[in-house]
Structure 1
Amino acid sequence: MPGLNFGRTLVAVVASVAVCLGGVDTAAALEKVRVLIPVRNIDEAFSPFVVAKEKGYFAEEGLDVTLIAVGGSNESAIQVSAGNGDVGAASPGEALVGIQAGKLDVRYFYSLYYQNIWHVAVLPDSPIKAIADLKGKKLGVQSLGSAGTTFGKAFVQQAGLDPQTDVAFLPVGVGAQAVTSVRQKFVDAVVYWDAALAKFKFSGLDLREVPAPEGIRSLPDVGLLATSDTIAKKPKMLIGVSRGVAKGYDYSMANPRAAVLITWKAYPEAKSKNPDPAAALEEGITVNQARLRIWNSPKTEDQHGRLIEADWQRLVDFFVAQKVLPGAVPVDRVITNQFVKDANSYDRQAVIADAKKTDVSKLD
Structure 2
Amino acid sequence: MTIRRGLAALALLASIIAPARAQNLDQVTIGLGIPPTVTDGGTYALAEELGLFRAEGIELRRVVLSGAGAILPQLLQRQITFGFPLAETLLAAHRPGQAPLPVTYVYNAGPTNTLEIAVRADSQIRTLADLRGGSVGVGALTWGTIPQTRALLRSVGLEPGRDVQIVAVGVLGAGFHALRENRVQALNFNSTWIDMLELEGTPARRLEFPPVYRRMITNGFLVHRSTIDTNPSLIERFGRAYAQAGIACDANPRACVEAFWRQNPQARPADPDKALPENIGIIERRFSANIRDENGRDRVSGQYDLEQIREYVREMARQREFATPDVPVEQYFTNQFVAGFNRFDRAALVARARALTPPRP
Q: Contact 2:136 / 2:186 at 8 angstroms: preserved in 1?
A: yes
Aligned residue runs from structure 1 range 279-358, under 5 A? 279-298=274-293, 302-328=299-325, 329-358=327-356
Paired amino acid for 2:75? V
Paired amino acid for 2:246? Y
Structure 2: distance between partners of 1:237 and 1:53: 17
Alpha-carbon deviations, 1:187-239, whole Å to 9, x = none?
11111110110111111111111222222111111111101111111100000
Residue in structure 1 matched with residue 30 of structure 2 by the alignment: 35
Paired amino acid for 2:316? F
Residue in structure 1 matched with residue 21 of structure 2 by the alignment: 26
Worse-matched range after superposition: 90-99 or 42-51: 42-51
Q: Is the counterpart of residue 187 in structure 1 residue 184 in structure 2?
A: yes
**Structure 1 residue 76 displacement after superposition:** 2.6
Residue in structure 2 matched with residue 169 of structure 1 by the alignment: 166
**Structure 1 residue 78 displacement after superposition:** 3.0
Q: Is the counterpart of residue 81 in structure 1 residue 76 in structure 2?
A: yes
Alpha-carbon deviations, 1:284-329, whole Å to 9, x = none?
2122223222313549974211111111111211211111101120
Q: Contact 1:41 / 1:270 at 8 angstroms: preserved in 2?
A: no
**Structure 1 residue 131 displacement after superposition:** 0.9
Alpha-carbon deviations, 1:114-157, whole Å to 9, x = none?
21121111112222121111122111111111133222111101
Structure 2: distance between partners of 1:42 and 1:207: 19
**Structure 1 residues 269, 76: closer, same or farther in 2, change over 3 A?**
farther
Alpha-carbon deviations, 1:2-45, whole Å to 9, x = none?
xx3xx544333322221111101111111111122332245433
Aligned residue runs from structure 1 range 232-251, under 5 A? 232-251=229-248
- Runs of 5+ unmatched residues, structure 1: none
Structure 2: distance between partners of 1:344 and 1:113: 16
Paired amino acid for 1:346? F
**Structure 1 residue 67 displacement after superposition:** 2.3
Which of 114, 124, 128 is the equivalent residue of 2:125?
128
SS at match of 2:135: strand
Q: Contact 1:48 / 1:247 at 8 angstroms: preserved in 2?
A: no
Residue in structure 2 matched with residue 107 of structure 1 by the alignment: 104
Residue in structure 2 matched with residue 95 of structure 1 by the alignment: 90
Q: Is the counterpart of residue 65 in structure 1 residue 60 in structure 2?
A: yes
Q: Is the counterpart of residue 259 in structure 1 residue 256 in structure 2?
A: yes
SS at match of 1:152: helix
SS at match of 1:147: coil
Structure 1: distance between partners of 2:345 and 2:212: 35
Structure 1: distance between partners of 2:91 and 2:182: 33
SS at match of 2:45: helix
Residue in structure 2 matched with residue 49 of structure 1 by the alignment: 44
Structure 2: distance between partners of 1:27 and 1:356: 28
| CA root-mean-square deviation | 2.0
SS at match of 1:36: strand
Question: If the length of structure 2 is used for normalisation, what is the TM-score?
Answer: 0.92
Residue in structure 2 matched with residue 208 of structure 1 by the alignment: 205
- Runs of 5+ unmatched residues, structure 2: none
Alpha-carbon deviations, 1:249-284, whole Å to 9, x = none?
11111111111111221222333x2x3222221222
Worse-matched range after superposition: 70-79 or 95-104: 95-104
Structure 2: distance between partners of 1:301 and 1:279: 31
Question: If the length of structure 1 is used for normalisation, what is the TM-score?
Answer: 0.91
Structure 2: distance between partners of 1:41 and 1:250: 18
Which of 222, 234, 240 is the equivalent residue of 2:219?
222
**Structure 1 residues 141, 102: closer, same or farther in 2, change over 3 A?**
farther
Paired amino acid for 1:231? I
Structure 2: distance between partners of 1:205 and 1:174: 16
Structure 1: distance between partners of 2:22 and 2:254: 30
SS at match of 1:212: coil
SS at match of 2:201: coil
Paired amino acid for 1:292? F
Q: Contact 1:47 / 1:249 at 8 angstroms: preserved in 2?
A: no
**Structure 1 residue 104 displacement after superposition:** 4.3
Paired amino acid for 1:293? S
